[in-house]
Amino acid sequence: MKLSNGLALNGHPSGRHFLQIPGPTNVPDRILRAMDYPTIDHRGPEFQQLGRSVLAGIRRIFQTSAPVVIFPASGTGAWEAALVNTMSPGDAVLMCETGHFASLWKRMAERLGLAVDFIPGDWRHGADPAAIEARLAADAGRRYRAVCVVHNETSTGVTSRVDEVRRAIDRANHPALLMVDTISSLGSIDYRHDEWRVDVSVAGSQKGLMLPPGLSFNAVSAKALEAAKQARLARSYWDWNDMLAPNTSGFFPYTPATNLLYGLHEAIAMLLEEGLPAVFARHRRHAEATRAAVRAWGLEILCQDPAEYSPVLTAVVVPDGHDADALRKLALENFNLSLGQGLGKLTGKVFRIGHLGDFNDLSLLGTLGGVEMSLGLAGVPHRKGGVQAAMDSLSTSAPRPLRAERAAA
């Protein structure tokens, strides 16, 4: 369809576009159909049922009994909501430089008037629990009000060990809040808000939840709600209290994103029907097959610690003298395949393969086939056989057939 200004929407060639950036991810037809329902009165009884359902269901995805606040916003809005509801001007927060998005959260905190202590990193490792513990142990005056960590750094393909960060805070016997960005991990990587005693979990709709961008989330502990009573950073739209009161009856204080909530209802149902353990196992399996392909090509995985490999994306380093963005351009123009670009200081040095959300074995093999052909067109030195290595990995780790699972149920 062409608009009057000549812009063509959905102008891809025949076949499905391979959207293999690490978010926004592919939106399943089932969710698109749900979002196509007519908009309803957001003050009426039908919406009340929807509100109650999604507010209860999203808790199961965070693995929490705590309230989850839903804002019509991107994940960036959820970052801001986490900070302005708990902090006062000049408060000190401890953050970790794990990549581009950790750096952006740090910049936001500084713009809000917070004093950020940024533990430096090389963008190839996750948050260092030992370094966090050392900073907190040295904080005799209990200056730090929060520790902020990105669970899965989307720019690097590195997953931080949040459970170990929690234990580090406990060993230091420090009262700081633990805030975690789960924007690219929620619904894809095992994440336990309650068990790991996270105080604020930040998330967005456009990755593991398989929705378009437009919803953001704060899962909020009782400790965080207490902190909000004393926090003095200015807030209005992001105020948790304004949300929580009407949420108890399934409503919102202002116009909600009704059709996105339809989609969220369906996304929660899809994740729970598959079962969260199976969802997490599927992502781990596809990630390992992707890494098998990268190794077969003779290329380098950006993440340097196998314990921190991301189940949702793999960042691949191109050899010196080659441009990852030139490869990405060839992949799009020749194979209708979108790969994630390198961000910040990784621009042109890496490309990112997203393997999360609504994704299966054949989706992965098509993606890797496109990457292997693009490597050849771009003249990037590599060995053949990456797709075969991925096939071998998938064949030796094949899950129980879905039809058999349903028959057994």
Task: State pLDDT tens for residues 172-197.
Answer: 999 999 999 999 999 999 999 999 99
Tokens 């959207």 sit on residue? 19
Q: How far apart are CA 297 and CA 369, in angstroms?
A: 12
Beta carbons within 8 Å of 312's beta carbon, 6+ residues apart: 22, 152, 184, 185, 188, 189, 207, 208, 283, 287, 354, 355, 356
Q: Where in the sequence is the domain holding 137, given as residue range(s)?
A: 29-272
Neighbours of 362 (CB within 10 A): 9
Asked if pLDDT for residue 401 goes beyond 80, the answer is no
Domain match, 230 and 341 both:
no
Whether residues 268 and 289 fall in one domain = no
Instruction: Please count the structural domains in the chain.
Output: 2
In a domain, 19, yes or no: no
Question: Is 409 within the bounds of a domain?
Answer: no
Who has greater pLDDT, 327 or 407?
327
Based on the fold, state whether residues 248 and 135 are members of the same structural domain.
yes
pLDDT in tens, 337-366: 999 999 999 999 999 999 999 999 999 999
If one counts every other C-beta atom within 10 angstroms of the C-beta of residue 56, the result is 12
Per-residue model confidence (pLDDT) at position 404: 47
Give the mean pLDDT of the chain.
96
Question: Do the beta carbons of residue 126 and residue 305 sit within 8 Å?
Answer: yes
pLDDT surpasses 70 at 256: yes
pTM: 0.95
**Mean pLDDT confidence for 70-80:** 97
Residue 17 inside a domain? The answer is no
Instruction: Assign 132 to helix, strand or coil.
Output: helix
Which of 270, 295, 311, 293 minimizes the C-alpha distance to 371? 293
Q: Is the pLDDT of residue 402 over 60?
A: no
- Judge whether residue 373 has pLDDT over 50: yes
pLDDT for residue 11: 72
- Residue ending a domain, among 272, 291, 314, is 272
d(CA 332, CA 17) in angstroms, rounded, equals: 9
Domain boundary among 210, 242, 272: 272
pLDDT in tens, 7-44: 777 777 788 899 999 999 999 999 999 999 999 999 99
Tell me whether residue 289 is in a domain: yes
Verify that 206 and 299 share a domain, yes or no. no
The whole-number pLDDT of residue 324 equals 98
User: φ and ψ at 325, to 5 degrees?
Assistant: -70, -30
What pLDDT score does 48 carry? 98
CA atoms within 13 A on the CB side of 237: 9
What is the Cα–Cα distance from 186 to 222, expressed in whole angstroms?
Answer: 21
pLDDT of residue 271: 98
d(CA 18, CA 135): 44
Kindly indicate the confidence band of residue 399, based on its pLDDT and cuts at 50, 70 and 90.
Answer: confident
CA 248 from centre of chain: 27
Which residues are CB-neighbours of 114 under 8 A, at least 6 positions away?
A: 83, 87, 89, 90, 91, 92, 93
Looking at the fold, whether 267 and 338 belong to one and the same domain comes out as no
Q: Please report, rounded to a whole number, the percentage of residues in the chain having pLDDT higher than 90.
A: 93
Structure-model confidence comparison of residues 406 and 295, the more confident one: 295
Closest CA to 171 of 202, 211, 130: 130
CB 102 within 8 A of CB 180: no
198 and 96 in one domain? yes
Say yes or no: 132 and 236 in one domain: yes
Question: DSSP 3-state helix, strand, coil percentages of the chain (rounded to 5)?
Answer: 45, 15, 40
Band the pLDDT of 2: cuts 50, 70, 90. Answer: low
CATH code: domain of residue 39: 3.40.640.10
The whole-number average pLDDT for the span 112-127 is 98
Tell me: do 345 and 379 sit in the same domain.
yes
313-317/350-354 β-pairing: antiparallel
Q: What's residue 306's pLDDT?
A: 98
